[in-house]
Structures are given as C-alpha cells and as structure tokens.
Amino acid sequence: MRLHKKFGILFLSVFLVDIGGLSLVYHFQSLEKTDTAVVDASGRNRMLSQRIGFYAEQIVRKRSEEAKAELQMAIDLHDISFYALKNGGIASGIANDVLLPPTPKDLLPVVLASEELWQQYKERAGVIVREPTVINGETNPQVVAAIDFIEKNGSEMLRKNNEMVAAYVHRSQRKHRNILVIFSAVILIFVITAGFISYATRRSILQPLQRLGIGIREIETGNLDYCIDIKTENEVGDLARSFNEMAAKLRTSYSSLREKVREAEREAENVKKFYEAAEAAAEQIIITDADGGILYANKAAQQITGFPVRDMIGKRPSLWGKQMSSAFYATMWKIIKDEKKTFHGEIKNRRKDGREYVADLYISPIFDANNNVKFFVGIERDITKEKELEKLRVDFLALASHQLCTPLSGIKWLIDTLNRTILGPVTPRQKEYLHQIYRINERMIKLVFDMLNALRLDSGVTAAKREKLSVAALYGEALVMMEPAAKDRGVVLRNAVGKRAGMMMETDAAILRNILECFVSNAIQYSNSGQEVILDAQEDAAGITLSVQDSGIGIPAAEREKIFERFYRASNAKKMRPDGSGLGLYIAAMLAKRIGAAITFASEEGRWSSFRVCVPLWAG
C-alpha cells in the first residue's frame, strides 16, 4: 500500500481520537463551569438566608431603618438565584453570569421543599421592609410577627439550603467521575494509536530512509556505482529508484562535466589575461554600474587622474570630471543609457593636483540577457600633448599660409602690370610666359586659400548663419561662376531642376555655395572635353538634396573610404591632375557638418560620379 494511503488512515484515526478527546475536554470544561455556578448559586442562597435574618433583627430590635435597603437587596438576590436554579437562567454575579440549567428531576423534590419555606420566609421579610417598624411609640405587631417567624424558621431555612448545596455537589461529583472514566478510555485509545503509528512509521519510513541516507552519503563521496537496495512499493522506494537512476545519469554525464570544468578554467584564464591586459594598458579603463558608480579602475586611471584606485572605487567619474557643460553630460547619458549606444567625444577633466587635461573618451554600455544596461566600460586616452602639438601645427600653418599670401598677391599685381604694358611693350612669347606664371600663381593662391579654410574649420572659428535661399538662385550663381572653367575644359553644364526651381531652404548660403562649387569644380576638372555635368535637386520630408553628377573618371572602389580625408587624392585623379591639393572634399565635408547637412556620393570608376548634399529644412 502506498504511504499516503497508510498514513491517511492512521492520521484519520488520530484525528478522530483527537477530536473526540478535545470534544470531551470542552464538554468537561463547560460542565465544570455550569456545576461550579450551580454550587455557587445554592451556596449564595444559604448565605443570603442568614443575611435576611441578620438584617431583619437589626431593623426590629435595633430600629435600624438603613438596614431595610440591605434586607430588600438580599431578598431579591436570593429570589433570583433560587429560581435560576429551579427553572434555569442567569444568577447575576455568579460565575460570570453563566446560564444555569433547570433543576434535574432527581433533585426537584429537595428544591420544591425549600421553595415552600422560602415563599413564607420571603413574605415575612417583605413585611419588615414595607411596614413601619414603630406605630405610636410601639413596635408594629405585624413586624413583630414577621421577625418571630424568621427567627423561629431561620435554622430550618438554613438546613434546606444546605440540603440543596449537598445535592448539587453530590450530582456534580458523580458526573465528574463518569467523565474521568471516559477520558481515561480516550487516552488509552490515543496511546494505542500512537504506538501503532510509531511502529508503522519505523517500518515503512525510518528504516528505508536510513538505507537511503547511507546510499546518499556514498553518492556524495563520488561512489556513483553504489545501488540503494530498497524494494518497497511506496514513495520511499520510488525515491530510492530515482536516486539510482540519478547516479546512472551522473555516471554518463561525468565526463562532459569535467570538460565543462576545464572550459570554465580556460575562461577564467582568459578573464585573468584580460585583467592583466587592462592593468598594463596605457589608456585609462574604468567599469561602472548602471548609475555610474565605479566598480573597477586600472593602473593607468591612477596615473592619468592622480587619484589612487582605492579612492575611485564606489565613487563616480565626476571625482576628476565636472569640467564640461551640463548639456555635454546630458547628451552623453542620453546616448549610452537611453539610446544604448557607444559615446565618443573629447572631454576636459581635472587631475588631483588641479591641472586640467584633455582626453579622447569612449563609453560603451554592456547589457544583460534582457538587453538592460548592466554596466558601462569607459576608455580614456590622454591627448593633452597631442592637442598642444596640433595647436602648434595649426599656428605654424596659419602663419606660413598668411606669409605666403603677401608675395603671391604681389606677384599677381606685377603680372597684371606687365600684361597692361605699363612698363613697356610685351612680345607674344613673353605674354605666353606671363600667362603660365599667372596660372601657377593662381594655383598657389588657391592652395593657400584652401589651407586657410581648412585651418579655420579645424579651429571652429566659423559660425553658420540662417537665411532664406532659393535653389534656383543658388544654381544660377554656380553656373555663372563655373561657366568659364567649364568652357575652358570643353565641359557642358546643365541645370536639371526645371519646374522644381521654386524650392526654398533656410541655411548658410555662403557655406552651401562653397560646397556646391567644390562639387562642380571637381566634376569639371575630372571630366573630359565634350562630357556633361548635371546639376539637380529633390525635395522630401527630410529636406532638399542637391546633386552634381559627371561622366568623368570616377573613384576607385578601394579608395572611396578615404575620399574625405585631408590632403587625400584618388590615384586616378593624381594621374589626370598632379597639381591638386586634396583639400576640396575635406573642406566640403567640414562645411556640411557646420550647417547640419550630410554629404553622400556614388561612383563607378572610369564612368561617372555623383555627389549629393542633403540640407535639412533648417540647417545651421
């Protein structure tokens, strides 16, 4: 039989025995309360009958009118208790006002005998209370007769009350004896049942569990070949068989487990290598929780900031930060926490000794299995010296470029003076030389101009303006400006805007004009005679896209990623025009960023190129 059925029967038996015992105890307690109340009520009547005699004597013999109230109270209490005992009810003040049962039939003769005398006793006592004690100086005969009756029958009244008390006590003792016999029988049944349950428990559970415990300890020590010998068809037997099956499965999976342990050891070794690499890195590396509290900082962090690593742990990077604007930090947190992307930017910090430094900062969020940010990894590289060198380089180039402008402008003026024959006539051969010198000088001026533009953009001194601009007017100016160069190269410029010429935008006109001139100039220079350059524009919800497409030499696929780098020129462009500066597209890209525009391009080497600038509805 299954254990749950065996123990179900056993526990049901125990439950029934317990319920019977509890019911018996409850009945015994209730009976004891009731019997106690009955005995107390009859005992109080005995005491009250004595008080009635005492108060009556005080009133008649000692003429105490104050005792009448006490006498009436004693009469009322005796009457309430007596009839509560006879008919059932509550005797006020007895055993917390327990409800008394009616007098049993076997005790009724005793109660009736006492009731007859009590009625007479009560009537005489009532006369003493109601009638005046003295009339015309003499004791009231009715009162005298009443006190004589009470004194004569007081002992008889006391005897009858004693008989009632004795009868109730005897009956209570008899009931208690009967209950004790029943209770003893219930205890005996309970002891027998408990012994049977103990025996059944030991045989069905404890002994098999001991064997099961021995088997478990064997398995814990690694003896997976041990078999637990329990063949009972119950839950313990099922558990033993389950342990045997588990041991068999453990044997089969032990080898794979060892492989996983070795894999975990290799991963731990990789983590150790990562830690050693991070500690040896020259860049500052910190790891923070999702709220920015520092969990780890490498040695370079201490070297760069000047703060010991132990002072960083638990703090925030603001320990050496807080040197940038609140907008900078708001943007940074939005990118790494809300957009969950990597942030990259330059940041100014302050070392422990108070010196400021500039760092190139990368912050990347690390996610848990639910794609929630778990922590952040921040890498800082101190670029203070690089910034100082860059500033020196920019200052040097600015000075050099500025110093070049003066002699170049002077050369241009001298060439113009010679061409106008102010200093004398010029032969055709001399004019040809002057023309070549003029062109070389113009290229030098253009190179210096491009270098100055690049320097201004790098330093961020130029600011975008906001003004309304017509696409038609912009293209018209570009065609007028670039038409001479196109004719010189034999290239045809075509405006394909047509009916879309009414498009308007708000941006910096000078910046956009420079970008467009760069596109058109490149298209002309790298196209052959007879080819066409097309200017077009399209408007959509994002803004207006201006495009310049040529049929020239195109851009090699392997070099397209570098086309916007400073001083970079494609290999086929160098062959076609060796004298280019490589600054045009770099400047155009910088200018586009300045007005919030984006430059894209497409090309096929040897066939065509198309450069586009997308200007938002408001750019700048």
Give the integer Cα–Cα distance in Å for 43 and 468: 117
CATH superfamily for domain 281-382:
PAS domain (3.30.450.20)
DSSP β-bridge partners for residue 603: 609
Percent above pLDDT 90 for the chain: 26
> By the 8 A CB rule, do 129 and 68 touch?
yes
Q: In what order do the strands lie in the sheet with 356-367?
A: 294-297, 284-289, 373-382, 356-367, 343-350
Mean pLDDT of 296-315: 93
Contacts of 328 (CB under 8 A, 6+ apart): 345, 347
* Cβ atoms < 10 Å from Cβ of 207: 14
Written as six digits, the tokens of 260 are 């996983």
CATH superfamily for domain 464-616:
Histidine kinase-like ATPase, C-terminal domain (3.30.565.10)
Written as six digits, the tokens of 293 are 């509290």
Contacts of 434 (CB under 8 A, 6+ apart): 415, 418, 419, 426
Is the per-residue pLDDT at 413 higher than 90? no
Of 8-22, 158-172, 490-504, the one with minimum mean pLDDT is 8-22
Dihedral sign for Cα atoms in the order 221, 224, 229, 232: positive
CATH of domain 3-198: 1.20.1330
Q: Which residue has the higher pLDDT, 569 or 171?
A: 569
The single residue listed with the structure tokens 């045997």 is: 244
Tell me, what amino acid is at 304?
I
Give the integer Cα–Cα distance in Å for 619 and 464: 9
Contacts of 470 (CB under 8 A, 6+ apart): 501, 502, 503, 504
DSSP β-bridge partners for residue 138: 135
Give the integer Cα–Cα distance in Å for 157 and 48: 10
Is the per-residue pLDDT at 520 higher than 90? yes
Phi, psi of 343 (to 5 degrees): -100, 135
Q: How many helices (H) and strands (E) does the chain have?
A: 15, 16
> By the 8 A CB rule, do 120 and 153 touch?
yes
Mean pLDDT of 510-538: 91
HSE value, Cβ hemisphere, 13 Å, CA-based, for 435: 7
Give me the pLDDT at residue 453, please: 63
**To 5 degrees, how large is the angle CA 602–CA 606–CA 608?**
35
Give the integer Cα–Cα distance in Å for 30 and 24: 10
Contacts of 240 (CB under 8 A, 6+ apart): 208, 211, 212, 215, 228, 229, 230
Model confidence at 33, pLDDT cuts 50, 70, 90, reads: low
Of 111-115, 390-394, 553-557, the one with minimum mean pLDDT is 390-394
Q: Which residue from 100, 76, 73, 75 is spatially nearest to 88, judged by alpha carbons? A: 100
Rounded to the nearest 10 degrees, the angle between the axes of helix 471-489 and helix 509-525 is: 30
> By the 8 A CB rule, do 543 and 615 touch?
yes
Give me the pLDDT at residue 349, please: 94
pLDDT digits (tens, 9 = 90+) for 54-107: 777 788 777 777 777 887 887 877 777 777 777 777 766 665 566 777 877 777
Dihedral sign for Cα atoms in the order 93, 97, 102, 104: negative
Length of the chain: 620
The model carries a pTM of: 0.38
Is the per-residue pLDDT at 451 higher than 70? no
Give me the pLDDT at residue 21, please: 60
> By the 8 A CB rule, do 503 and 471 touch?
yes
pLDDT digits (tens, 9 = 90+) for 109-147: 877 777 778 888 888 888 888 888 888 878 888 888 888
